[in-house]
Chains A and B, each alone.
Chain A
């Protein structure tokens, strides 16, 4: 089977040649098969979010190539890659336009990667489609489609962003700690919606998380990162048998250090 995403020898250093020089990705190689749902864990500054940003084209890589669905996208600017990529961010504010209506946001997303012209920004058929899709979220937002997104809660906004990022099936879905800013109950709802959408559409996805239990529970593959390196990569049955303690031990083994991240320790 041809790979959906293939990262080869990716290096990325921020502020090279300065006192703040920071090597965030160190010769990273990662290949995703179609339908892979990878969870990525690691301490602060391990390079988890950077991997997503490199795939999305937020900043260029220093070396290496990024192949997405057979196409070399290494040099494409962010807005041109958007055609192939769905994204949900950690900050619920970042994935939606607060000053615009729910249906306007969805209509924008429905045109991801398409040419925009002088046709009306939202059609009648779209409104019906949006009503159905939003109803499936089960958050009661379907009757508020012409409300401004700024009126929604963080969880509602994340659910909406998820819907927006997958309304046109992306080649890959990038989730950057998208439940980290939510309260535990809301986080669980959003995670369930995430799982549902990914399974339903059989999407290829990468989810960065700080929650080890989530990382073990969902997805078919788990990747652990430390200081810009992938230090552990596990799939299928072996992954589903993992325990949080196994992951902590793995981390200590590699770095010779305690997993010194409060957020993660709290979540044990």
Chain B
């Protein structure tokens, strides 16, 4: 029992840190209505940049800022390939992701950097307050989440943010209203990947190492969080509520993972588990719809 509780606490802290990545995925997947597969790469880029800086005794907060910036650059590349070079969004993302694998190795100089000897924001907070590291991670994660949601709520309500949302809804219309939709998309890709890299930098600090493979499957985890959030919080159109639902979805996902691991799932099978979970979640609306239709037909027949 104790171990499950501890595992769930861990799930909460991991869920919060990974939720920032899911919020980034939400920008491209839902707001821009496109698919950005560069996420797997930019998540690891965020981790790599943070790790190499921290291991060179740079302040962990500065390392995070540098990671965010590197993510924005990765997003720019994907956006540029998609809008200016007219490469389909999915392929643009795959190209960026692939190239980032090499770039991340270049950044780190090897495939893995351990950081246990070095300071990180969670450790410093824990040392200065006396709260244990797990709780520190949860507290800092929660504060960052509130800030990120606040900033996103503000930005997507501004003139540029509205233009960006409208681009995802009806590109032709926004162009006819004088918005350069290429520019809007590039901005969207940049913010999205900046958030993803932010998440990668935080996860790196929390787990105490960066690995070139740490982003594998990140996009699917992001989608899982979004979809679980949407399934669980169906009511309400408030934007902040929608974003909170994603964070909630991320925590639920991490809890589900923690539980199945406790129940004896092999960690090697975790990615398969995630993929199946997302496939089921994506299929759920289709099943609900057709069962509703069947019920309607049935009740008509009975009448």
B is a partner of A: yes
- Knowing A108-B163, A121-B161, the reply to whether A116 touches B169 (Cβ < 8 A) is no
Structural contact, A121 and B178, CB atoms closer than 8 A: no
- Knowing A78-B175, A113-B178, A116-B179, the reply to whether A99 touches B163 (Cβ < 8 A) is no
Closest to A146 in B: B237
Structural contact, B170 and A120, CB atoms closer than 8 A: no
Structural contact, A79 and B170, CB atoms closer than 8 A: no
B158: contacting residue among A82, A96, A114, A119, CB under 8 A = A119
Structural contact, B162 and A82, CB atoms closer than 8 A: no
Asked if B88 is at the interface (CB within 8 A of a chain A CB), the reply is no
Closest to A174 in B: B176
Q: Which of chain A's residues have a CB closer than 8 A to the CB of B165?
A: 97, 99-100
Closest to A121 in B: B162
Q: Which of chain A's residues have a CB closer than 8 A to the CB of B180?
A: 77, 79
Expressed in whole angstroms, the Cα–Cα distance for A100 and B160 within the complex equals 14
Q: Which of chain B's residues have a CB closer than 8 A to the CB of A122?
A: 162
Expressed in whole angstroms, the Cα–Cα distance for A105 and B173 within the complex equals 10
Q: Which of A61-103 touch B at CB < 8 Å?
A: 77-80, 82-83, 85, 87, 89, 93-100
How many positions in chain B have a CB within 8 Å of any CB in the partner chain?
Answer: 24
Expressed in whole angstroms, the Cα–Cα distance for A148 and B237 within the complex equals 10
Expressed in whole angstroms, the Cα–Cα distance for A21 and B177 within the complex equals 31
Structural contact, B181 and A79, CB atoms closer than 8 A: yes
Expressed in whole angstroms, the Cα–Cα distance for A166 and B178 within the complex equals 14
How close is B186's CB to chain A, nearest CB, in angstroms?
Answer: 14
Q: Which of chain A's residues have a CB closer than 8 A to the CB of B172?
A: 89, 94
Closest to A91 in B: B172
Q: Which of chain A's residues have a CB closer than 8 A to the CB of B173?
A: 94-97
Asked if B109 is at the interface (CB within 8 A of a chain A CB), the reply is no
- Knowing A109-B177, A114-B178, A120-B158, the reply to whether A97 touches B169 (Cβ < 8 A) is yes
Main DSSP-derived SS at the A contact region = loop
Listed residue (B178, B179, B237) with the most chain A CB atoms within 10 angstroms of its CB: B178
Range class of the A interface residue count: 35 or more
B162: contacting residue among A78, A107, A114, CB under 8 A = A107
Listed residue (A83, A104, A148) with the most chain B CB atoms within 10 angstroms of its CB: A104
Structural contact, A98 and B170, CB atoms closer than 8 A: yes
Q: Which of chain A's residues have a CB closer than 8 A to the CB of B177?
A: 82, 108-109, 111-112, 164
Q: Which of chain A's residues have a CB closer than 8 A to the CB of B176?
A: 56, 78, 82, 85, 87, 95
Expressed in whole angstroms, the Cα–Cα distance for A116 and B155 within the complex equals 12
Asked if B150 is at the interface (CB within 8 A of a chain A CB), the reply is no
Expressed in whole angstroms, the Cα–Cα distance for A164 and B177 within the complex equals 9
Structural contact, A117 and B160, CB atoms closer than 8 A: yes
Asked if A1 is at the interface (CB within 8 A of a chain B CB), the reply is no
Closest to B30 in A: A99
Expressed in whole angstroms, the Cα–Cα distance for A259 and B92 within the complex equals 48
How close is A127's CB to chain B, nearest CB, in angstroms?
Answer: 14
Asked if B77 is at the interface (CB within 8 A of a chain A CB), the reply is no
Structural contact, A100 and B174, CB atoms closer than 8 A: no
Q: Which of chain B's residues have a CB closer than 8 A to the CB of A98?
A: 169-170
Expressed in whole angstroms, the Cα–Cα distance for A118 and B161 within the complex equals 8
Asked if B74 is at the interface (CB within 8 A of a chain A CB), the reply is no
Q: Binary interface profile of A, 146-170, with partner B (CB < 8 Å = 1, else 0)? A: 0010000000000000001000000
Structural contact, B157 and A121, CB atoms closer than 8 A: yes
Structural contact, B157 and A100, CB atoms closer than 8 A: no
Structural contact, B181 and A118, CB atoms closer than 8 A: no
Q: Which of chain B's residues have a CB closer than 8 A to the CB of A117?
A: 158-160
Q: Which of chain A's residues have a CB closer than 8 A to the CB of B157?
A: 120-121
Q: Which of chain B's residues have a CB closer than 8 A to the CB of A118?
A: 155, 158-160
Q: Which of B159-218 touch A at CB < 8 Å?
A: 159-163, 165-166, 168-170, 172-181
Structural contact, A112 and B178, CB atoms closer than 8 A: yes
Supply 12 further A-B pairs (C-beta < 8 A) apart from A79-B175, A104-B166.
A79-B178, A93-B170, A96-B173, A100-B166, A105-B166, A108-B163, A108-B166, A116-B159, A116-B162, A118-B160, A120-B158, A148-B237
Give 5 nearest A-B pairs by CB, closest first: A82-B178, A121-B162, A97-B169, A116-B159, A99-B169
A interface list, Cβ under 8 A from B: 56, 77-80, 82-83, 85, 87, 89, 93-100, 104-105, 107-109, 111-114, 116-122, 148, 164
B interface list, Cβ under 8 A from A: 155, 157-163, 165-166, 168-170, 172-181, 237
Enumerate 22 A-B pairs (CB-CB under 8 Å) in ascending A order. A78-B175, A79-B178, A82-B175, A82-B177, A82-B179, A85-B176, A97-B169, A97-B170, A97-B173, A99-B169, A100-B162, A104-B162, A104-B166, A111-B159, A112-B177, A113-B178, A114-B178, A117-B159, A118-B155, A119-B159, A121-B158, A122-B162
